[in-house]
Amino acid sequence: MKEKNRQDNNQEEFLRGTLDMLILKTLTRGALHGYNIAERIEQGADGVLLVEEGALYQALHRLELRGLLDSEWGVSENNRRAKYYRLTAEGRAHLERTARRWERVSEAVSRIMRIA
């Protein structure tokens, strides 16, 4: 029971970290609201990563509370009130760190996959 929990947690952790990284990456070119971010990730990932869009908002708020994102209310392209998120300096640094790690791991994994 405990063992299973830990596995779940690990998996969740992994997905969460990946989602965080994608969000941060999406925001490198400027402020976006939640729906924009969802669309961008969707376009890039072909719906593989995002199971439920609610998880995206949970992630946004988590990142905001950690100080990696900053938010501001603005007006959307179709004139509605929307919450825009922006990378903070801390968020940018965090993204660089996780992206490097991600590259190393994925390179290693693909190398092994090629060899095997």
Partner 1 sequence: MGWLHGIRLRLRGFLRRRQLDRDLEDELQFHLKMRALRNREAGMSAEEAMDAARRRFGNPVWWKESIRDMWSLGMLESVLQDLRYAGRSLLKTPGFAAAAILVLALGIGSVTGIFSLLNAVILRGLPFPSPERLVLLWGNVQRQKIERRGNSYPDYLDWKAQSTLFEGMAAYSGDSFNLTGVAEPERLAGEWVSAGYFDLLGVAPIAGRAIAPADDVSGNSNTVALIGEGLWRRRFGSDQAILGKQLQMNGRLFTVIGILPAGFRGLSDGAEVWAPFAASASASDLAERGSRGFPAVAKLKRGVPVRQAQAELDAISKRLEQAYPETNAKRGVEVALLTDELVGGLRTPLYVLLGAVGFVLLIACANVANLLLARSEARRQEIAIRMALGAGRGRIFRQLVTESMLLSLIGSAFGLLLAVWSVQLLGKASPITLPTFVNPTTDWTVAAFAAGVSILVGVFVGFVPAYQAGRQDLYEALKESGARSGDGLARRRFRGALVIAEVALALTLLVGAGLLMRSFQRLSAVHPGFDPNGMLTLTAALPRAPVAPPQPSAAVTSDTGAVVTGRQLLERLRALPAVVSASVASDIPLGPGGGAIFYSAEGQSITDAQTRPRAYVHRITPEFFATVGAQMLSGRSFSETEMEGRANVVVVTDNLTKRFWQGQDPIGKRIKAGDSASKNPWWTIIGVVHEMKYRGLPENPTADPDVFIPFSDRQREVAILIRSSQDPSGLAAAARAAAREVDPSITIYEIATMSERVGRAIERARFAGWMMTIFASLALTLASVGLYGVMAYTVRRQTREIGVRIALGASAGDVVGMVIRRGMALVSVGMGVGLAVALALTRLLHTLLFEVSAVDPLTYLGVAAALGVVALIACYAPARRAARIDPVTALKCE
Contact residues: partner 1, CB under 8 A: 33-35, 38, 51-55, 57-58, 61-62, 64-68, 73, 76, 78, 80-83, 90
Nearer to partner 1, 65 or 112 (CB): 65
The interaxial angle of helices 34-45 and 2-26, nearest 10 deg, is 100
Which residues, including other chains, have CB under 8 Å from residue 71's CB and lie 6 or more apart?
A: 60, 64, 83, 84, 85, 86
Nearer to partner 1, 83 or 92 (CB): 83
Q: How far is the CB of 52 from partner 1 (least distance, A)?
A: 3
> Count of alpha carbons within 13 Å of 61, Cβ hemisphere only?
4
Q: How far is the CB of 67 from partner 1 (least distance, A)?
A: 4
Nearer to partner 1, 39 or 107 (CB): 39
Q: What is the DSSP letter of 29?
A: G
